[in-house]
Structures are given as C-alpha cells and as structure tokens.
Structure 1
C-alpha cells in the first residue's frame, strides 16, 4: 500500500475543505436520529437524559438536535465541563456565582438557594433544561448542586458523557438509581459507516473502500469522516462510473497530520519515541518495548489513553488504528530508519513484533492457513477436519451433512475470534459452501455476521460481489445489480480478472431477469474481456464454479455471449450448451449421474431454471442429477422435477414453499405459477389458492417495485383509499356508507385491488404494510 505523508500530498486550503463535504454534524445518522427522538420524548415526559458514548460518536449532534426541537415552553441553560476546571470547587458554575461574596461559597445551602433563584428568574416560568456537555469534567460540588436542582423538580438535565465511570460519584449514583433516560451511542457497524460515507460523497461506495475506512475508524463516525474527507481531498479515492473506489494509496496530510500533532505533540521525547516505535512495528510485547524505550515513559503511556495492552505475554499497541498508521506514515524517513536500527541492535526477533491489526494489516497467506488455525482455535485438529469434511460433502451433494459441519465451523469462528485474515479465509470458504448447498438464507446470514465485526471484514474478495450473488441467485435482480456494479468497478481498479469475470457474468444474469438484453450482452462482453470461460474439466475453484453457474443461467433464459454455442428456438427457451451449463453431454457417452460424480454449484440451479422455462429434457436431467443428494435444497429440486414431469400440484407447491424458506424467490414464484396453472386445469381449488398465496408472496420479494407500498402508488386515489381503509380493518359496509356505495360494489372493487397488489385479502394486505413499514 502506498502511504502519502506530508511531503507527497497537497495540503487542502480552508476553502477546499469547506466546499468538499458537509460537516459531520450535518450527517444525521440513523442512530443520532433515533437517540434524539428518544431523548426528546423523555424530556417531554419530565425525565432527565444522559447521552453517553466515546468521543466522535455523535453526542453533540444528538444534543443539538434535541435542543433545536424543543418548543417555546422550555428555557435552556447551557454548561460545558472542562478538564482545567474539574478540580476547582464550583468551577462549572463560576460565571453564575461570581456575584456572591467569596465567604458565602462555604455554605452549600446558601449557594443552592442562590442558584435556584437565579435559574428560576432566567427560566421566566418555562421548563428549565440544563444542557451540559462533558459532564465528567464538571467538579463534584457543581454536580452536587445541579443534581439537587433536578431531584427537587426545579430543572431537567440533558447531559453528554464520554465515560460515566469518570464522573463524580454523586453523578454515577444519580445516573444509575433515579428515573433517568439513558442513550448509549455505540460505534457504527459497517452498514452505518456506509450511510455516513455515501451521505458525505453523494454517491455509492464500494465495500473495499468501506472496509478500509471501517478498519481505521473502528466505527467512530468522526474518525471515519475525517479519514474519508482527507482521501477525497487528496484524490486517493476515485470515482469510477459513479462509484467511489479504493485505490490502495493513503494520504495522511492535512487534518490527519494535525490530529497526530495534537495527540502526540505534548509528549516528551521519551514518550514520543515509544509511540513512534509502536506505530512503526504495529505493536510489541512489553518486555521488548522496555528494551527499546524508557520504562518510565512506557508506564506513563500505559496510564494514558493512547496505548492498550492485550494478550499473554502482555503486548502493547496504540489504541487507535487510524492514529497508529498516521503516526507511522508521518515519522521522517531518517528517524524511522534510526528506530528500526535500534530494534535490530537490541536483537528484537521478527517473532517479537505483533502483526498489525485491521483490514490494512498483513493477512495470513493461504499456504499456512491450516497451521495458523491449529494454533489459534481450541480443539483445532477437529475444527480442521470438520471444515474439510464440509467442503468435500458439499462437492459430493451431501448437503445436509455439509450444512451441519459448516454451521459448526461458523459458530466456532464467531465464538473464538482469531486473526482478521484467518477469519476472512474461513468465512469465505463457508460462504461458498452455503452457496454450493443452495442455502441462500444461510449465505446471507453469514454476510450479516461480517457486519458485526467492528473493524469490518470482506470475504471472497468483495462483500459487494457476495451480496450481489446471493440476491441474483434468489431472483432479486434489481438489488443484485446495485451490489454487482459496485463490485465490478472496485475489481477493475484492483485488476482481479477472475473475480471481475464472475461479477460481470452475475450482472449479465441480473440484466436477463430485468429483461434488459442489451445491458446483459454488454456485461457478457466485459466477462469475455476479463477471460474466456473455460470448460469444467479445465477450471476449478469457487469462482470458476460460480462463473459456470451464471453463464449457464444466462443460457437457460435465452442469452449467451457466444451465439455459436446457444440456439434460441421459437419458443424462446435456449438449448443449453454443455460447457456453459456445467453439464455432461449425454451424446458423448459419459454419464453425468454416476454415483461418484461430484456435484457443483453450477449444475442444479441451471437445470432448474431450464426446466421452469420449459426446455426439453431439463426436468428429466434435474431429477437424475439430484438423486443421491441430501438436504433441503435437494428436496426442493426433486419436488420441482417430479411436479413438472408428473403435473403434480402438491409436489410443485412443496418445491415453492421450500424455495421460499431457502431464499430462492424466483424458483418459488415460477414453481407456484406452474402449480396454479396445473391446479386450474385439474379444478383443484384448494391447490389453486395455496399456489396463488405463494406466488403473490414471492412476487413481492423479487423487485423493490413489487412491494405493496410501491404498488399502492400505482392505484387511483379512490382505489388507494379503499385499500388503506380495508387494511385498517373497516368493513365493506362502513366503507360503502362513506362512499355511498353498496357493500357488494365495495367487495368487487377490493377484489380487483387485491389482484393489483398481489395479496389474498385484507389480512395479508395489513400484514404486508406493517412488515414493509418496519423494514424502512
């Protein structure tokens, strides 16, 4: 990674910084909005409020938002704690008590009466709110007086606190015991940081850029905004095709350099040497650091908030990853060489130096992965055996057993945190196992786990790519294309042709589902540029399997990059080429159904899509391929094949229900539609109702525009009024009276409305609206 320090990056002017991005306070993050709303409700209910959180998490933004929304009945007195006044009695109220003779300050009762009288005069009959920033820096005497005013009902407190434990004891007891509303602002997860960055940049950001920012900020909104703003100004992040991407270069000029100066500028020379040593090495065992720096200076650093200790033997590193990397980048070359020479002269071995943490640290190589796992996870020989077994079982179609083993591995990795690079490797493997077994819900759940890591984590090269593949395999093409476009731009920047080929082929399939043939062909051309899709015998690995899968899915629905390999008959369903579908050509004399044949992720989804499109022989091949497989997805494919071959409505309904559970919404929609047609032909009214229910539910999942909320907007005002009234529980008689229509006419209109909204009736309409409101 290139590090651009002071000499290499231009320093932005004040005008540049003002015009580049909005201030952080303007970025109203969801947690800020939620905390402000809850705090405002608590004040209205007569409660005091304490907003706690580390510096930069948005406490001041919450405070400002709450105060800005207070009505005219409130009177606000603003106070601010300061470390310089924390040891002085009445330091927090000196401006208020300046009129009192000094001798009266020794009488707390008199002081309390005076403060109450002054504040009541300032409130002028309004409800008094004491807005206090940094309450932990107020002296104990001032806190005691302010708390007494709150306990006596004279005022309510709205306070921000960085660390409750650092507050005066009286404040801690009040905070814990009295009816005080508390709002804790925690660091942002990657999904929250994405909202912040996209709000600042005004455009989507790639998952790689997101994770690089997240790893340095650890979810601190202020640090994330600070780092991202510096990269925007230094142009070390680029906007490609409307998406901001990570380039690998980093600038630590401007405000980041100023931050390093402010954090370390007051340190003595001995402490600065220790800090620079930790920054350059990424962390050191304590005994090694004591050989390189003054022990007294190291002890003073331990007492500060700059360093943290962890592990056995005890190791020290700078607590803030962004500060650590910035400090390392800004150490002058000569001084950095001198420090490294000191380390070498004191015989500090490579094993003494801790690996840097975060996404920008060194990730373990794949060659030594098993040995690293053996040393990091308890019961490791068994863990490796389970992981290997899961991989082999998935490849052989034993999906039930593979899922059990993979889920066990996932629990082990999440419960026992290991090195970030190691977790990334294992989670990537498990993600591909879930995809291979057709478990899209589990794959999506695993991606959600990556959002729970405070430093962020990318798997399989790109979380955008992974999320896009899960969405498009489930048939949710519009959502998938958004993720895949981000992935493609970042992967092009990183020059990773195999993953770029995978992303382009998946994007082509998304365009096929969206009926955008021209865009689909363009993406297939991009995939061809990234590298021709090789035959199954010549290509192995997760990416190769998935490329064949998406290529086959495109062919199954009538589109392929090479017109010589796919013919589209008048019926509109493509004849599947053996290579692109990942199948064996039966005319070659080789069987694709032998007991020893390994199943891959490429085969069954393609056959299922072809069978649902009416391709001749696809259903028979699907039934043959899935025999011998186990697991929920295997049951789904087998029921689908039987239902299509035998016109068996219950089998097709079973396949549709299972597909919904697994996250295959397109299969559920098409299978339910086929079941509905067959049920109608067979006069199976019960089967028809069940099929319509599943078809409608899966239809709403396919596109964002298919939601009930969006489709309500397509109705006329009259129809929308009827629909919302029915969802609210009003009877047809009640609705008819208001509109001067008979109940029968109302029922006729509602029937047409329910068909447009793809719901079965009032109850389902009400439930859909409730669920969609909760999701937004």
Structure 2
C-alpha cells in the first residue's frame, strides 16, 4: 500500500463502495408504488452511511422524516415519537396506542399534502414495538413509505419483515464488500492498491466497511475523529473489565460458569447489564460480545505479546473444561494462531460446529491450519469448500478420499458422510458416475442410513426422478430411529414431490410440518441450504403466495431472494416490482449458471408483461425503455429451450447445482415470454413441455404448461388439460378445470368462471386475459349480465396491474375536474358537497364518477379512496 495522495473521511469511501445499493434503494423509493425498503446488515456494514446517502440522493421535493433508535429508548413505549406527540399536546406515557396512531397519521398528512412522505428509521432493532407497529401500519396503508435499517429481522423488526414477506417492502442485504468495492473504497480515500493488497484488506476486514476504514490512515483527521462507536464503548470500561472483554473476544464465546471462575462476577454482570456482553439462553449459557464489530476491534487491538500471555494464562483452565460450539471453535483458532497443536478429534468437533452454523470459511481456515491428512478432517474440509462454493477444490479432496476408502476402511458415519458429499457434487443427470454405491449395503445404524438415503432422495429429486425420490424420502420420514434433522429434510422432499405430482393439499401439509421441524435446535446448515429452496418451490407451485414469501425467512446467504420474490410478483400482478428485482444483477457472490439463467428468463417475461401493459393501458404514462434496451444489449436473443441446452453436462465440466425443476421453470418462463408476441408458434412448444412433465408424473407442472398452451390456442393442450386437472387438487386443480372448460365449450359463462378462479388463485395476469375474452364474447352475444360480471373481474385484475406501473399517476390519467372529484372523494365529501364545490349537479357528479371508476378500474368510493391515498 502506497502513501495517501489525498485524504477524505472514511464515510466517503464507504459511500462509494455502496453506490450500487444506494442507487437501487433510491430507485425503489422513487417508484410511487413501493411501500419502502428494509436494509439488513451487521454492525459496521454501513447501514447509516447508506441511509444518509439515499436521503441525499432523493428528489429535493421529496418529504423525508428521520427517526433513530437507540438503547436509551428501545424499551420506552412510543420512544421515537415522544417529541412529535409532545408537540401535538399528548403525553406519550399516558396516550393509548390508537390515539397515538391517529395523531402520528394526522401529523404526516398535515405536513405533506401533495406527496407520500418517506420515513427513515435508523437502528430499527432499537426502536420500541409500539412505534414500529405504527410505522408498519402506515406503510401497509400506503400513507408513508418507510426506509428502515436493522441488524436482523428479529423482534421488533419482524413487524416490518411481515410487510417484506407480503411483497410490500423490498429487502436489501448489505453483505461484505467484494474486491471491486474495496478497490473503489481505497481509491476514494486516496490510496493506490494492487490485487494482492486488496485480497489482504478483504481478509483482514472481513468485508466490513467500518473495519476497513481502520486499515487506512487518514493523516488529516485527528485521533478523536477517527474513533468509532467501538472506541467510545471502551472509554467507560475499567482495566479489569477490559481484561474480561479481551478474553471473551479472543475465544469468541465462553460458558458463563467457566468465565466467572476467571474474573470478578460483579464486573462481569455489570458488562452484561450495560449491553456490552450477552449471555446465551441455551444450556451452555455462553458469554460473547454483543456487537461483532466490537469483538473484532478488541481482538485486533490486543498486542501479540498480550495475546500469547493471555493464552498461557487461561489455557490450563480451558483444558480442564469440556467446551462446545463457539467456545471450542474460538479456543482451537486461538491455539493455532500461536502454533499450539490440537488433537484431531478436538479440531474435528470445532470444524463440525462451524460448518453446521454455516461458517464455512472459518471451518476451512481451521482445518487447513491443522495441516492434517486425517480422512475425517479432510472430509470436513471438503464439506467446507463445498459450502463456500468451491466445488472444484471439494471434488479434488473427495477424489483422494474415495480412492483411499475403496478397501472399506473407516467408520460407518465417515463412509455415510463421504457418500453424501459425493451425491452433492455429482451432476444428478449422471447417476452412473457415482462410485460410493457400495456404502449403502455396508451401513447398519439407522442414523447413518437415514443421512445417506435422504441425500440420495434429494439427488433423485434434482434429477427429475420423482417416484424414486418420494419412495426413499418416505422410508426415512417413517423411520423414527433416524435423526430429526434427516426426517425434516425427508418431510420437505415429500411435500415438494406431492405438490409436483398434483397432490397439493397433502404436499402443503408436509411442507407446513417441515417448516415447523426446521425450528428444532438439532438442525444444521445443510437443513437450511436444502430445505429453504424446496419449501419455497413447493408453496410457489401450490399457489400459496404468502407462504412462499414467508419461507424465504429461512433463506441462506447464497440464495437469491430478489429473484424468488419476483417470481411470486409475476403471478400476483406486481410486474414493475418484479422487473426491478430481476433487473438487478446479484453482487458480492458468484451466481450458479442455472440461477442466473432462471433470473434472465423471468426478466424476459417481466419485460413482456410491461410491454403488454403499456400497449393496453389507455392514457397511461409511457415508460422509458432506454434503460432496459441498454441492459439487454449484451444478452443472447431468445431461442426456445436454449437454456436447457446450455445446461447439458459437458465432458469434464459437471453441473452439480443442476435441478430438473429449475430447468423446467426456465423453459416455461421463456416460452411464456415468447408467446406474448408469437402465440401460435409457441403453443405447440408449451404443449410439448407439458407432455414431458406429464410423462414423469409431474401433473402440476404439466397443468401449468398446458394452461398456457390452451390460452394460446393449442387444441391438443385443451383436451389434455381437462384430463390432468382431475389429477390436481386444491385451487390449482379448480383453476385448471375451469380453464379447460372455458376453452372447451367457448361459452362466456365458462370463461367468466375461469377468470374468477384465476383471480381467487392469485393469477392476476391470467385473470385479466380470461376476463377480457369473456367480456368480448358477452358483448358479441348481447349478454348484459355477462358483460357486467366480466367487466367487474377485468377491473379487479387491471387495477392491480395498472397501478403497479412505474410512474403512473392520476395527473396523466384524469382531467382537472376529475382530479378534483377524486381528491374530494378521498376527503370524504358526498356527491352533493362535491357538486356545490364545483358548481355541478349531483347527476353530473355521478356521471363523472362513473367514468372515473371505469378508467381507474375501481368499483366503489372506498377503492377510489385507496388509490387517491397512494397517488396523492
């Protein structure tokens, strides 16, 4: 690292490193249909910096109200609204929740007349529950747009997380800075760095902007200015307490019973009461530093001589204890730093815990530091590399272990885990390449058999062999001698398989049970990594949109939550929000090829829906297509089934992440988008796609494909859809049957029933298409009742689609007098009052309102009020 050329505050560098996140959040808040953004990130990840930059980049006329939580007001009811309520003449400690809600809502309505205010809440996890409840209710009703930042979605932030799971808020996770962001950060604060230095900075800072800023010396700033919140915490810590903090920071976590033998209990309890240390609620009662950034700062501030002295001092005490989990991991890491060897079993136990918690990088560092060729340690290293996404390294290790185990040496547990890992890194389309099939016959224990068989069932599911996957998973799930976590994975597979085969109600029952089992303490990172995508897929295919979103709360860090939520939004009519999520390339991690192909396929469909909406919405604002054309200028032109061919296994280049179900959905989305412009050419391909799924027993998938083919005029699909609908239960089965009848007899009543079924199912785009067709047929036959019913369904569908549009506002859709009428209705004025204000007769007011209802796709004054609130 060279000397600094210029010196700027570290916050500037952090802002530059987060430019993409800032731009995304500003774009979401500029969209009048968005209810807000929830920013999640650990301490030091730059949440406050991002919020400040977003507020500075909003339009000058945008009204912004800022609130900030803290430890002082976290437990005071209505803490962040104390000043606001006091100025309004209310006593915060005496007022009821309902009265406080009314006062706050009136304050925002009075302060901002023409626009929806943006409420910024920093440190939302340190805001009282009543205040967040008011904010979440106002956001849900569209009276405010919220921008909140918190470390996690635990209470009380779960009140805002409910809005995110319902698709009303966009979640942005601030992960560690990648190499390009660190390089931008360094350049902005005046340093020139090369790739080797960047890699070292990333390792030392863990991608944390606050810790990264400490690695750069700002020669123009004073020592006081360079001090952060962590330094200020240490100001009021006496030397004897600092020793406690240093000990806890070095070992990461230590049981309370053990720690109290090494220090004064009163000093320890004082640190806990002040919120610097926290005690776990499990049976180990481990003590750790509450703020991860503080733990890293304390650890890095300890001189090497002091660290070695402390290790020598406490090691005899630690050796006499039976440590577990984080305490054991911290002890082994600390010993390795000073070359103190640990026995292989201790290292293995520590690595097993790290991998089970998802800390694969820490496990890999620990195991490589052990410098051991012990097979079990090498197997755990392969697991860590697989968890980090380094499949090539994991496969190289596994090759050696499989070759060495051909003579059958090793415990049953070791062999079972070895076979499981081979199943995970093998392309599921090439089961003949497996070399550990003999292990299954060797195993005796139900635990080892259950571990291997549930992984085998997942392997079969990924390969599209649903019958085999279901039978194997059923065997594990029914065997109560298997571990609960293995039965949980089997339960998830049974639920997904049942949904795919058309037994949706049974599958949903399994999926709900699997979610409950996922809360058990026995689960590891494997259960999270395996179950979450399957839970989402099962609920998604079943049409349980709210449950699909809720399943994402378990999502591991590598899962693309934005794409998953966008897939639900495409069904429920939130097209713009889906497009915004899909048009953002995931940052900070390497995306598997199939995941990226799925995102692009769904993006094609979202763009097709946007074009269709813009062409069909009268007097709507024309959306600027320039940005979209630029983004897609480097993408391959659509070719049906191109995605599937790209995923075919290539000699020497396996695709261990391949999933047949994901491959099917990629083709379905691409064909759906292609059908929007060329329905006749694509209908046959959709029918063939459904036939391929039907041949595998995937009745639900066949039903989805054949519904699309039927809507686009394929007669064979129409007859096949009627046949497969009898094999699908639940709302999807009723929708498939209704669509089959609608295109079978061609009567407008059947088409109206199908549109109603689609709307009940949540398929807003399909409902609008069916209702429009039913209306046209009813008009041709002169059926006034049918026209009225079809129009009501069409209005309900188009209202959701039209007012999801980016930038749509009432000023472009209504005349001046119509806008005055709408705002008068929103204020609660009657028709007579509106006529008196505008010098119109009551009959003329009713005539204008009728036109407004038809244009805005609303059916009554209440729905018109809701739109007026959001579009004020």
TM-score normalised according to structure 2 size: 0.55
Work out the CA distance in 2 between the residues paired with 1:480 and 1:686.
35
Q: Give secondary structure in 2 for the equivalent of 1:695.
A: helix
Q: Which residue is equivalent to 2:543?
A: 438
Q: Which residue is equivalent to 1:118?
A: none
2:718 aligned residue (598, 619, 627): 619
Q: Which residue is equivalent to 1:401?
A: 506
Work out the CA distance in 1 between the residues paired with 2:132 and 2:694.
57
Inter-CA distance 31–701: structure 2 relative to 1 (3 Å threshold): farther
Which stretch of the first structure deviates more once superposed, 324-333 or 424-433?
324-333
CA contact (8 A) 1:468 1:481 kept: yes
Q: Which has the larger radius of gyration?
A: 1
Work out the CA distance in 2 between the residues paired with 1:551 and 1:714.
37
Q: Give secondary structure in 2 for the equivalent of 1:653.
A: helix
- Establish whether residue 496 from structure 1 lines up as the match of residue 603 from structure 2: no
CA contact (8 A) 1:508 1:519 kept: no
The 5 A counterparts of 1:39-188 are 39-45=83-89, 47=91
CA contact (8 A) 1:676 1:692 kept: yes
Deviation at 1:643, TM superposition (A): 1.1
- Establish whether residue 250 from structure 1 lines up as the match of residue 208 from structure 2: yes
Q: Which residue is equivalent to 1:525?
A: 636
Deviation at 1:324, TM superposition (A): 2.7
Work out the CA distance in 2 between the residues paired with 1:546 and 1:708.
33
- Establish whether residue 236 from structure 1 lines up as the match of residue 182 from structure 2: yes
1:481 aligned residue (579, 592, 595): 579
Inter-CA distance 263–379: structure 2 relative to 1 (3 Å threshold): same
Work out the CA distance in 2 between the residues paired with 1:546 and 1:751.
46
Deviation at 1:711, TM superposition (A): 4.0
Q: Give secondary structure in 1 for the equivalent of 2:546.
A: helix
Inter-CA distance 674–685: structure 2 relative to 1 (3 Å threshold): same
Q: Give secondary structure in 2 for the equivalent of 1:317.
A: strand
Q: Give secondary structure in 2 for the equivalent of 1:362.
A: coil
- Establish whether residue 508 from structure 1 lines up as the match of residue 604 from structure 2: yes
Work out the CA distance in 2 between the residues paired with 1:766 and 1:412.
42
- Give the paired residue count: 589
Q: Which residue is equivalent to 2:289?
A: 318
- Establish whether residue 353 from structure 1 lines up as the match of residue 326 from structure 2: yes
Deviation at 1:772, TM superposition (A): 6.5
- Establish whether residue 362 from structure 1 lines up as the match of residue 358 from structure 2: yes
Which stretch of the first structure deviates more once superposed, 302-311 or 325-334?
325-334
Inter-CA distance 738–12: structure 2 relative to 1 (3 Å threshold): same
Inter-CA distance 183–416: structure 2 relative to 1 (3 Å threshold): same
Q: Give secondary structure in 2 for the equivalent of 1:597.
A: coil
Q: Give secondary structure in 1 for the equivalent of 2:691.
A: coil
Inter-CA distance 546–665: structure 2 relative to 1 (3 Å threshold): farther
Deviation at 1:514, TM superposition (A): 1.6
Could you list the per-position Cα deviations for residues 57-87 of structure 1 after superposition, in whole angstroms to 9, with x for gaps in the alignment?
A: xxxxx9xx99xx9xxxxxxxxxxxxxxxxxx
- Establish whether residue 770 from structure 1 lines up as the match of residue 866 from structure 2: yes
Q: Which residue is equivalent to 1:751?
A: 850
Deviation at 1:639, TM superposition (A): 0.9
Unaligned runs of 5+ in 1: 1-6, 52-61, 70-161, 165-181, 193-197, 221-226, 240-246, 451-456, 561-567, 586-591
Deviation at 1:526, TM superposition (A): 9.0
Q: Which residue is equivalent to 1:472?
A: 570
Work out the CA distance in 1 between the residues paired with 2:647 and 2:178.
43
- Establish whether residue 263 from structure 1 lines up as the match of residue 236 from structure 2: no
Inter-CA distance 622–11: structure 2 relative to 1 (3 Å threshold): farther
- Establish whether residue 545 from structure 1 lines up as the match of residue 656 from structure 2: no
Q: Give secondary structure in 1 for the equivalent of 2:284.
A: coil
Q: Give secondary structure in 1 for the equivalent of 2:578.
A: helix
Q: Which residue is equivalent to 1:667?
A: 766
Q: Which residue is equivalent to 2:278?
A: 308
CA contact (8 A) 1:307 1:317 kept: yes
Q: Give secondary structure in 1 for the equivalent of 2:674.
A: coil
Deviation at 1:646, TM superposition (A): 1.4
Work out the CA distance in 1 between the residues paired with 2:757 and 2:4.
58
Q: Give secondary structure in 1 for the equivalent of 2:287.
A: strand
Work out the CA distance in 1 between the residues paired with 2:598 and 2:260.
50
1:410 aligned residue (515, 523, 526): 515
CA contact (8 A) 2:594 2:647 kept: no
Work out the CA distance in 2 between the residues paired with 1:712 and 1:259.
47
CA contact (8 A) 1:283 1:316 kept: yes
CA contact (8 A) 2:756 2:793 kept: yes
Q: What RMSD over aligned residues (CA atoms) do the two structures have, in Å?
A: 5.7
Which stretch of the first structure deviates more once superposed, 637-646 or 250-259?
250-259
Q: Give secondary structure in 2 for the equivalent of 1:316.
A: strand
Work out the CA distance in 2 between the residues paired with 1:735 and 1:503.
49
Deviation at 1:421, TM superposition (A): 7.5
CA contact (8 A) 2:489 2:531 kept: no
TM-score normalised according to structure 1 size: 0.60
Work out the CA distance in 1 between the residues paired with 2:534 and 2:234.
42
- Establish whether residue 607 from structure 1 lines up as the match of residue 706 from structure 2: yes
Could you list the per-position Cα deviations for residues 181-225 of structure 1 after superposition, in whole angstroms to 9, with x for gaps in the alignment?
A: x96579999x99xxxxx999xxxx9xxxx89x64899979xxxxx
Which stretch of the first structure deviates more once superposed, 36-45 or 12-21?
12-21
CA contact (8 A) 2:357 2:524 kept: no
Q: Give secondary structure in 2 for the equivalent of 1:617.
A: helix
Work out the CA distance in 2 between the residues paired with 1:635 and 1:470.
20
CA contact (8 A) 1:573 1:614 kept: no
Q: Give secondary structure in 2 for the equivalent of 1:409.
A: helix
Inter-CA distance 498–48: structure 2 relative to 1 (3 Å threshold): closer
Work out the CA distance in 2 between the residues paired with 1:163 and 1:667.
42
CA contact (8 A) 2:13 2:184 kept: no
CA contact (8 A) 2:572 2:764 kept: yes
